[in-house]
Structure 1
Amino acid sequence: MGIEAVEATISSGTLRGSVTDGISRFLGIPYAAAPFGPRRFQLPVTPDAWTGVREATQFGPAAPQTPYRGRTGQLLPSLTSDGTDEDILTANVWAPASATESTSEPLPVVLWIHGGAFERGGSSITGYDGTSFARDGVVFVSANYRLGSEGFSVLDDAPRNLGLEDVAAALRWTHAEIAAFGGDPSRITVMGESAGGALAAALVSRPDTRPLIAGAIIESGPLDAADPKRAGRVTRALAKRLGVPATREAFAALSPAELLAARTAQAAGSSPLRGAPGFLLARDPASLPEAPRTALATATAPLLIGTNTDEYRLWFTPDALAKITPWQARLGHLALRIPRGAVRAYRADFPDAGTGARLGQALTDAMLRAPMTQVADRRTSPTFAYEFAWQSPIDGLGAGHALELGFVFDGLENPDSVRIAGDAAPRPLAREMHDAWVRMIRDGAPGWEPFAPGRRVRVFDVDSRTMPLPRAEAVDAFRPAS
């Protein structure tokens, strides 16, 4: 079947998208005005309307960023943008072509938020194609947001968490406009991975955006928000490197390319255990008054949340893990504040693992798995937990960070997935996971029993199973003292 044109009219004007194999696509739709010039380091604002028909067949430009380097750059897809193309706050929509027919019932909606450590990534990455979700009856929306210094600086005279504010604007846009594409604005699920998972969690945590959300899916997303002083370490260090004050005026006087160059130099050689600080969400009365680790406990929307067994294996090469000595591991435990009970549990749970691998598991639990479990333990609303355990054959990755994405999107043939999962990943597992995510978006439940009361977790592998929380002793050692 060839490509056909299709039109949709939203409040800003009429769009011309395309239809292929029964799926409509509308790409590069402005949900907010370009955040540059006088709008730089300011809250997002409504985009200008247009006359005539706007072409919506190409993705909008990515937010300013540099590509991943080294091994990570070989495994994860990268984008490059220096900020020359300013209209970066755009959304994309995939929907069944039949969704806008007068006889069609409004469809459930998912808003996908990409990851990238708050400083990389974009909705145009091939692996984030929404076709598989639209094929299965979901209106799929993705959006770009400001990254790095443009989106997460802590400046003395500028709003905080601007990247989060962009995502909140994308959610409001989706709620207001999605009916034009056949979506139901009362059935929006927010979904994200890594930093995108953190942003999805933050949307559920905010009093202003929480009412717009029917459900949430958080994949390997950090759930903490730092105090402004800690979140601002990276901004202050960049300001010092650049010889300017940490103010909106000083940062706005620098080009995005200058800020990117300074950040690249600052972050050279860093790792999750040492080096330059990274960008973080900041607790802030206006944009994030409460950290998701706390706020998610009282959110009523159904929640699907989980991690991968070996998240750390994306961040550390096998050689780097093998070189970690017991003395270095002890220093790492101190730096990460790993409880002694957890260290003992890792020795029991991984008797044949090396010192580096056990330290990596401690890092995974401290950053992701322990906060996730604590949230799931406290919630009374429907909560479904998973662990992705399938082992990639590529470069010692195991069940590393981001590996699940090709399975969730049912896109194992995509080059982005082949790069990290190989060309023989199990297709039945991809179909199983994708179907579970679609059920969560459609029905508010993925198809297995909730976490409570038995602390049940769905472990995805060649032979998936639902079982009590794996390695509970280690993760429970992270519980705060009562």
Structure 2
Amino acid sequence: MNPVVTTTHGQLRGSVEDGVHRFLGIPYAAPASGANRLRPPRPVQPWTEVRDATHYGAAPFQLSPPESAGTEWDTELAGEDCLNLNVWTPDPGSAGLPVMVWIQGGAFEIGSTAAYDGRNFARDGVVCVVINWRVGADGFLDLGDGQANVGLLDQVAALEWVRGNIAAFGGDPGNVTVFGQSAGAMSIGVLLSMPRAEGLFRRAILQSGAAHHAIPTETAQRIGGFLAEKLGVLPTREAMAAVPAQRFLAAQAELKADLFAGPDPARWGQEVVSGSMLWQPTIDGDVIPRSPIERIAAGAGSTVDVVVGTNTEDWKLFLAITGVIAKVTEQDLVESRSVDGFPPIAAYGLPAETAYREYRSHYPDSAPGDVLAAVETDWWVRIPALSLADAHVTSATSARTFMYEFAWPAPGLGAVHAVEVPFVFDSLDTHSRLFGPLLGAEPPQELADAMHAAWVSFAATGDPGWPGYDLERRTTMLFNTDSRVVYDPRAWERELWEGIR
């Protein structure tokens, strides 16, 4: 018999398979339509009949889905009723189980819960939740009207739903771990600093993302104005919300093309040009009072246990899949030239001559594209991760800090962005449709066993199984087929970027 649970809004009927109970498409906020379009999430209206929770809900409107998002992700399902989540639990009748809430990545532009399956966390005694949240301009339009960072407020609303309802699924609302990758991890870095998220989670795992990606409100408002110009409407929330969704998305695509065609920092802002992301959290003085990393250094999130890390060759993925990595020449590096729209070395803040000299000295035999990828990896994720670990371990009170690096080299690519996700979910088989081109024919199951177990242990106890991070030893777990603890493995990068990133 399909299980039924009672939430604060009504009853849900899920499904069960191999002992794991699954509830899909659960609304945690009202549809983002009509008066709710482009605005902070509103409460769910209760229902009286038992609601079917056996199918994925709508995904948020987005420019395009990932190239291979899985057979269950029907791209036609994108819609206004996208503020939903999925729950996997070993037993709704249990009590006090650890809870893990996955916040997906996608450059703050794409994503769907249907790309992730939490069954193996439930198999191992965890209540796993995967959430949708608004992306692109739907989630991060800033018009200076006091309603910025809607996508982050969606995440807060989902966590509030977890606090109020997860006990009905067997979970402990006082033992919630948020974990996420890329833009999901960057979101968590912001949540650690956000007053409105305080107390909603006990632990956090940040995979290839930290607390550096938030842009000034002046920059975000300028981009909002550019979008209004593309749409031919006034730069007000009412006027822009009235534009049909497909035209709204098309204008975002046009604006992004403009950015790539003319990446002028004076027009777009240096932060946007360096990161090539138009839509991201904005330091609005309210939802995000000031720079997230600065707030964490000052004590925000100091009671939350944190695991943070990156992949060894993280940002190489994007140069590789676009083919740009083979086009980069030594002269491009020496003269700090852009290649096919990818920012030159100088765009990342290091003096071009210093960057070239230092990276070439540490990667003497690497191809020019690999050297550029190393600079991008450090700017995007590695230095932010180290900075977050340093800030958190310095300001934390009772909480602990842990650092990792994922080093298993995917065949022909290396340890690139996102390749660790199926290891974390222990889903090398079922994730093959999503990560198959990255994983190769025989990805090591023993590494998935180890990494998944570490994440589960951290969620349950606060201990992932290796020593904590401190400023003296900078202990780091290096995940590979021969996983081991190393000490301060990125000393030269940390020293090189000191005061710059």
Whether TM-score is above 0.5 comes out as yes
Please state if 1:359 is matched with 2:372. yes
Please state if 1:473 is matched with 2:492. yes
Please state if 1:174 is matched with 2:177. no
Please state if 1:264 is matched with 2:253. yes
Distance 1:153 1:379 in 2: 29
Please state if 1:423 is matched with 2:417. no
Aligned 8 A contact 2:308 2:404 in 1: yes
Helix, strand or coil at the partner of 2:283? coil
Q: Closer, same or farther in 2 for the Cα pair 1:213/1:116, shift >3 Å? A: same
Distance 1:445 1:84 in 2: 38
Aligned 8 A contact 2:144 2:221 in 1: no
Q: Match of 2:316, as an amino acid?
A: R
Please state if 1:333 is matched with 2:333. no
- The 5 Å alignment of 1:151-166 reads 151-157=139-145, 159-166=147-154
User: Shift of the alpha carbon at 1:290?
Assistant: 3.0
Aligned 8 A contact 1:215 1:441 in 2: yes
Distance 1:75 1:12 in 2: 31
- The 5 Å alignment of 1:29-428 reads 29-68=26-65, 73=67, 85-97=79-91, 99-100=92-93, 104-125=94-115, 128-157=116-145, 159-224=147-212, 225-268=214-257, 270=260, 277-297=277-297, 298=299, 299=301, 300-317=303-320, 319-329=323-333, 330-331=336-337, 332-339=344-351, 343-380=356-393, 381=396, 382-393=400-411, 396-414=412-430, 415-428=433-446
Q: Match of 2:306, as an amino acid?
A: L
User: Shift of the alpha carbon at 1:82?
Assistant: 7.3
When normalised by structure 1's length, the TM-score is 0.91
Aligned 8 A contact 2:210 2:308 in 1: no
Helix, strand or coil at the partner of 2:2? strand
Q: Where do 5+ consecutive residues of structure 2 fail to align?
A: 262-271, 338-343
Aligned 8 A contact 1:412 1:425 in 2: yes
Q: Closer, same or farther in 2 for the Cα pair 1:275/1:162, shift >3 Å? A: closer
Q: Match of 1:119, as an amino acid?
A: E
RMSD: 2.4
Distance 1:217 1:262 in 2: 34
Distance 1:158 1:256 in 2: 22
User: Shift of the alpha carbon at 1:117?
Assistant: 0.7
CA displacement, residues 163-217 of structure 1 (integer Å, 9 cap, x when unaligned): 0000000001100111100100100111111111111222221123121211000
Distance 1:296 1:77 in 2: 39
User: Shift of the alpha carbon at 1:63?
Assistant: 0.3
The size of the alignment, in residue pairs, is 468
- Which segment drifts farther, 239-248 or 172-181? 239-248
Aligned 8 A contact 1:43 1:159 in 2: yes
Q: Percent identity?
A: 40
What residue in structure 2 maps to residue 445 of structure 1?
463
Q: Where do 5+ consecutive residues of structure 1 fail to align?
A: none
Distance 1:293 1:378 in 2: 7
CA displacement, residues 352-378 of structure 1 (integer Å, 9 cap, x when unaligned): 112221111111111211111112123
Distance 1:344 1:397 in 2: 24
